[in-house]
């Protein structure tokens, strides 16, 4: 049995840990509200842009003049997988779930004989993926020093992706991130960026036929590169909200678990103290009887 001093030291240590986890929970809760507002504001714009692109792309099906970002390279051999995770941990299985989906995608592509390249956005995803796929990583990006994710951060990633596509370094690009649903629920999601996956049902015209000036191809040539950055920006915001939601939930569980440990240690301390007192009384009584 541990000594009374060791138990008291342990209680003090767990109590200090509980104060830290409680503070981290409160900080995550405060930041979650701002992150959730940012996601809510970004979603309509990203969805509307997808709708506009879907409407414009309908008139370009099979058209040899369609932009490369819409038509693709005509090949399906080299795949670029952009894995967006958090730079920090202590957020439960948030990063692990994203990496698990990425790993499944990579393995599935390799089994089909495809070549895979990785861009890791976030330190945690890079650290996990490089254990097995280090040779596939062509770039890694961290945002640890950035206090708040902005569109400029997404533009830098989008520019890197567009430059690689223009250089013929890949045929298909897929973005993997975690879609924020609630504090308790974040869903790992894979979204194809290049060639743009057109959702036939996601239109912005409500079934009305429009004539465009300039032509659809010219509009898409300007809109599609920006759409890459917009979708990446949305993914980054979704990740930030999901990270804080997962961290808030994880720190709440850690705080409650620390409380349970303190209760158990307090009972053990009381029993140990009682046993010591009983032992001392027995020794006193035995000594008195011996006299």
pLDDT tens digits, 165-190: 888 888 888 999 988 888 788 888 88
Confidence at residue 176, expressed as pLDDT on a 0 to 100 scale: 92
| Parallel/antiparallel/unpaired status of strands 172-182 and 185-194 | antiparallel
Catalytic residue among 28, 91, 157, 194: 91
CA distances from 153 to 150, 166, 236 (A): 6, 20, 9
Confidence at residue 145, expressed as pLDDT on a 0 to 100 scale: 55
91 a catalytic residue: yes
- Give the chain's count of helices (H) and strands (E): 6, 5
Q: Which region, left, alpha or beta, applies to residue 69 given φ > 0 means left and ψ of -120 to 50 means alpha? A: alpha
DSSP conformation letters of 71-120:
H--S--SEEEEEEE--S---STTHHHHHHHHHHHHHHHHHHTT-EEEEEE
Q: Judge whether 41 and 233 are in contact, CB under 8 Å.
A: no
Q: Which two tokens stand for residue 50?
A: 């997808």
CATH of 22-250, one of 3.30.360.10, 3.90.79.10, 3.40.1380.10, 3.20.10.10: 3.40.1380.10
pTM of the model: 0.80
Confidence at residue 1, expressed as pLDDT on a 0 to 100 scale: 58
- Cα separation, 168 vs 139, whole angstroms: 16
CA distances from 275 to 3, 10, 268, 272 (A): 11, 19, 10, 5
Q: Which two tokens stand for residue 163?
A: 């430059």
φ/ψ (deg, to 5) at 176: -115, 125
Confidence at residue 218, expressed as pLDDT on a 0 to 100 scale: 73
Mean pLDDT for back-to-back runs of 10 residues, the chain (291 residues): 80 89 87 85 82 72 68 83 86 86 90 89 86 86 72 86 87 89 84 77 54 68 84 88 86 89 88 81 74 62
What is the residue extent of each domain of the chain? Answer: 22-250
């Amino acid at each position: 049995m541990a000594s009374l001093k060791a138990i008291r030291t342990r209680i003090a240590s767990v109590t200090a840990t509980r104060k830290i986890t409680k503070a981290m929970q409160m900080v995550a809760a405060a930041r979650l509200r701002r992150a959730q507002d940012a996601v809510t504001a970004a979603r309509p714009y990203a969805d509307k842009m997808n709708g506009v692109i879907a409407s414009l792309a309908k008139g370009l099906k099979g058209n040899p003049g369609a932009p490369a970002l819409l038509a693709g390279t005509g090949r399906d051999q080299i795949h670029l997988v952009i894995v967006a995770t958090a730079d920090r941990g202590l957020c439960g299985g948030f990063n692990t779930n994203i990496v698990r989906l990425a790993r499944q995608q990579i393995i599935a592509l390799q089994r089909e004989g495809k070549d895979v390249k990785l861009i890791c956005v976030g330190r945690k995803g890079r650290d996990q993926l490089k254990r097995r796929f280090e040779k596939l990583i062509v770039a890694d990006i961290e945002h640890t020093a950035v206090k708040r994710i902005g569109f400029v951060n997404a533009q830098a990633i989008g520019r890197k992706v567009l430059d690689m596509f223009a250089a013929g370094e890949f045929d298909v690009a897929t973005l993997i991130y975690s879609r924020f649903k609630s504090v308790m629920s974040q869903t790992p999601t894979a979204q194809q960026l290049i060639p743009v996956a057109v959702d036939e049902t996601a239109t912005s015209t409500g079934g009305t036929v429009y004539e465009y000036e300039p032509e659809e191809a010219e509009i898409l040539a300007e809109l599609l590169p920006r759409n890459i950055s917009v979708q990446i920006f949305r993914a980054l915001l979704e990740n930030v909200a999901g990270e804080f939601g997962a961290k808030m939930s994880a720190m709440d569980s850690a705080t409650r678990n620390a409380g349970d440990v303190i209760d158990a240690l307090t009972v053990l301390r009381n029993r140990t103290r009682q046993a010591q007192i009983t032992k001392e009384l027995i020794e006193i009584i035995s000594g008195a009887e011996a006299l």
